[in-house]
Amino acid sequence: MLEHVPHWLGQLLSPLRAGHEKLLAARPDLAVRGVVELMSPAFAHGARLPERFTADGAGVSPPLVWGELPEGTAGLALIVEDPDAPLPNPLVHALVWNLPPDTGRLAEGAIVADGDGGADGRDVGRTSYGREGWLPPDPPTGHGSHDYVFQIFALSEVVPLAPNPGRGDLAEAIAGRILAAGILIGTYQRGDAAPAFVAGSPGPALAG
């Protein structure tokens, strides 16, 4: 995929980025009201993603843990976007709909294709490449550091979606139903050195 883009072309494309203002959680019409703490035991907020979660490693999804949810939370939605992709809109790396509110976590490697959804009601949706599951980060060489923004939404009700929902389906379904949201950012850049591991810390939750 993008790992095959030549270094010179990656550098040329470096100024071209979708923009953090286009992240789903940044949309003013979604009316985020509260805060959810989101973190990972595998990386700290703002730190480099370990290679095993990227196209340069095993390419599995990272573990995630979230904190206390608002009263009345009926379900959770998760989307992971790269706002630094050289595209008009952020690149979707994962989408999970209807996570049960009492789980508290997603295990490493849990975001995988699941057909019409799981027995507990959750459904893994489509990435920007049109496939279910986790799209491992693979920024172009020479393009610089990319942010991978994990966004979680606590919802007041769960609206049925068609199997394998996409970004537009999710945005429409959660509008007006968000009790709280939170973000966690991992970074990745081809060619940079992996730092010593630092225990995960929560990212800043988004509040309206």
Q: What is the pLDDT of residue 204?
A: 55
Tokens 């020479």 -> residue = 142
Across the chain, what does the average pLDDT equal? Answer: 86
The residues, ordered by sequence, that sit 6+ positions from 202 with a Cβ below 8 Å of its Cβ are 37, 38, 39, 45, 67, 182, 184
The residues, ordered by sequence, that sit 6+ positions from 67 with a Cβ below 8 Å of its Cβ are 36, 37, 38, 39, 202
* Percent over 70 (pLDDT), the chain: 84
Query: Residue 171: how many CB atoms within 10 A of its CB?
Result: 16
The CATH classification number of 2-188 equals 3.90.280.10
The C-alpha atoms of residue 154 and residue 73 are separated, in whole angstroms, by 6
Q: What is the pLDDT of residue 6?
A: 43
Q: In this predicted model, which residue has the larger pLDDT, 5 or 26?
A: 26
| Structure confidence at residue 163 as a pLDDT band (50, 70, 90) | confident
| pLDDT, tens digit (0-9, with 9 covering 90-100), for 39-60 | 999 999 999 999 999 999 999 9
Average pLDDT rounded to a whole number, residues 192-197: 49
| Structure confidence at residue 14 as a pLDDT band (50, 70, 90) | low
The domain ranges of the chain are 2-188
| pLDDT, tens digit (0-9, with 9 covering 90-100), for 77-132 | 999 999 999 889 999 999 999 999 998 999 999 999 998 888 788 899 999 999 99
- Give me 12's structure tokens: 């040329």
Q: What is the pLDDT of residue 130?
A: 93
